[in-house]
Amino acid sequence: MSASREKRLRREIRDAEANSDTVKKKKKQKKPMTQAKAKKLRSAIGSTIAIVLVLVFIGLIFVNSGFVQTHGTAVTVGSHKVTPVEFDYFYHDTYYNIYSQYASSGLWSYMVDTTKPIESQSCTMGEDGETWKEYLTRTAMDSAKRVYALYDAAQEAGYTLDDDAQSTIDTTRDNLSTYASSAGYKKADDYLEANYGKGADVDSYIQYLTVQQIASSYAQEKTDSFTYTDDELRTYYDENKQDFDKITYRLFNVATQNDDTDAAKSTADSMNADLTGTEESFIKAAQDYAPEDSAESYEDESYTLRSNQGYSSISSDYADWLFSDSRTAGDHEVFATSSGYSVVMFVSRDDNNYNTVNVRHILVKVATSGDNSTSTDADWADCKEKIDEIQKEWEATDQTEDDFAALATEKSEDTGSASNGGLYEGVYKGQMVTEFNDWCFDASRKVGDTAIIKTSYGYHLMYFSGTGDLYWKTLADTSKRNADYTAWYDDFSASYEAKKSTMGLWFTNKELAQLSGSTRTTAAN
């Protein structure tokens, strides 16, 4: 080994030894440093956990106290910040309005599984893929937008509630304690919280009702402010006759058998050729051409009759033909349909050119007995005895309309008219049950006529007050008024937006996760 290499090797050995000492020193220093850091870390983690727990605790106190629900923002509508509890009012009322609409018909159970959260259920009424939760939230937001847009318009116009509207709100406030007590709650606030969620109380609910009342009253005032001449209404009706007129026609369907469309058309054409333009000829032809399995049904002369049908309820295959201005009684034609062919005869067109009627009545409801809730002969006899007694009381008066109205207010069991002296104004054909309708629209009817009639509801003591407007005019006025109101509303509310606050919506009530609805008592009822 050369001297230079030996020298270099000794230097490398010294360097290695030096490096080794450094490593050992570092190793000796590392352990106590790690322990110190660990101690500090454990202390920091403990402090953080404590802080988080405190914050969670404070948060729970806030949530449970209702502070966030009453001071936070769930939705912003225009310049209005809708609190979580106020949005609960909109949300719950939206749900219960829908529920009450479908529950009575038995459809609700097919629409919603009340045992499952609504977040997991598709809503057939909503947009594609929308859950019930999403649909109700969107609909409640639309309601809030409409209410606050109208409320702001009312404020700008200087509108104030009239005495009747304010009295309704005051009465609701006064009755809340009664509602609460009957539902088993000590305080009205508890009752409202049970119905609407955390943070609901009398003051916030009454404020909600007040805003609602101002909005709806102002909307009605605006609707009533539109005025039209008879010529304007006539023009509007004529331009939209398809929406108002009713058609009566005869119909015979020939179904295609075994894809043999030619045979079906041949049968329809043959029947059509046998028609002479009279209903009698149609009835006979229908009986002659009726399939064997339906022959008995066609023996009923009304089986082919379709009375007072609106455009939207008539098959599109022949609706335009029936509604043509050129149609006359007895016109008949064959039309291809998705299932075969139809023979159609035009009978008449009702253009609503008749006077509505104004009538008062006093109703005595017939009682029901037994498990089937049916009325026995004894129930009907008792009902008749009561109405006879009321008639005697009526005959003992001066028999003025005011006398009848006073008696109706006192005696009638019809909640829809008793408070108004039993009065129904602007009654149109087909609005009331058959017996009621037939008495009102009897051609011989004159002001002051009275009579006792029997309907499925019980016995009615009737009083004919007179005639009202032509029905076509009523239809045109209502439709045009609504159209003009909608145009006005759409114009001024276009700038209003309803924006969600995700955090705020989180604090809204979650109780509707189970859509039962059957046990709720609405405070406003």
Q: Higher confidence at residue 270 or residue 112?
A: 270
The reply to whether domains 246-350 and 355-473 share a CATH topology is: yes
Does the pLDDT of residue 496 top 80, yes or no?
A: yes
pLDDT in tens, 369-428: 766 678 999 999 999 999 999 999 999 999 999 999 999 999 999 999 999 999 999 999
Lowest mean pLDDT among 230-239, 257-266, 402-411: 257-266
Pick the range with the lowest mean pLDDT from 95-104, 295-304, 319-328: 95-104
pLDDT of residue 421: 97
Q: Is the pLDDT of residue 511 over 70?
A: no
Report the candidate in 519, 491, 434, 514 with the shortest Cα–Cα distance to residue 120: 514
d(CA 509, CA 194) in angstroms, rounded, equals 10
Q: For 274-284, what is the mean pLDDT?
A: 97
> How many Cα neighbours within 13 Å face the side chain of 243?
10
CA-nearest of 495, 497, 512, 508 to 73 is 508
Is pLDDT above 90 for 504?
no
What letter would DSSP give residue 257?
Answer: B
Please provide the CATH number assigned to the domain covering 355-473.
3.10.50.40
**Mean pLDDT throughout 231-257?**
96
Q: Which of 244-253, 491-500, 509-518 has the lowest mean pLDDT?
A: 509-518
pLDDT in tens, 130-181: 888 889 989 999 999 999 999 999 999 999 999 989 999 999 999 999 999 9
CATH 2.60.40.10: does it fit domain 246-350? no
Binning pLDDT at 50, 70 and 90, where does residue 509 land?
low
Q: Report the pLDDT value the prediction gives residue 100, as an integer from 0 to 100.
A: 85
Task: Give the tens place of pLDDT for each residue, 442-452.
Answer: 999 999 999 99
CB 77 within 8 A of CB 491: no
Would the pLDDT of 459 be above 60? yes
Domain map (residue ranges) of the chain: 75-226+495-513, 246-350, 355-473
Best CA proximity match to 144, nearest among 194, 74, 49: 74
Question: What does the pLDDT average to over 182-192?
Answer: 92
> What count of other Cβ atoms lies within 10 Å of the Cβ of residue 233?
20
Whole-angstrom distance, CA of residue 343 vs CA of residue 335: 7
Q: Average pLDDT over the chain, rounded to whole?
A: 86
The overall pTM is greater than 0.85: no
pLDDT at 517 over 90: no
The predicted-structure confidence for 13-70, as pLDDT tens digits, reads as follows 455 455 545 444 444 444 455 565 555 655 656 556 555 544 544 444 445 556 777 7
* Residue 498 pLDDT > 60: yes
Q: Residue 499 — pLDDT band, cuts 50, 70, 90?
A: confident
What is the model's pLDDT at position 340?
A: 96
pLDDT-derived band at 248 (thresholds 50, 70, 90) equals very high
- Give the CA distances from residue 476 to residues 188, 227, 350, 425, 507, in Å, rounded to whole numbers and listed in that order: 45, 12, 15, 17, 47
Compare 472 and 24 and report the one with higher pLDDT. Answer: 472
- pLDDT at position 375, please? 92
User: How far is residue 253's CA from residue 266's CA, in Å, rounded to a whole number?
Assistant: 13
pLDDT for residue 525: 38
What confidence score (pLDDT) does residue 57 get?
A: 45
Contact 471, 490 (CB under 8 A): no
- What is the pLDDT, as a whole number, of residue 510? 54
Tell me if 456 sits within 8 A of 433, measured CB to CB: yes
Half-sphere exposure of 257 (CA within 13 A, CB side): 7
Mean of pLDDT values over 176-188: 93
Mean pLDDT over 320-335 rounds to: 98
The answer to whether the CB of 145 falls within 8 A of the CB of 489 is no
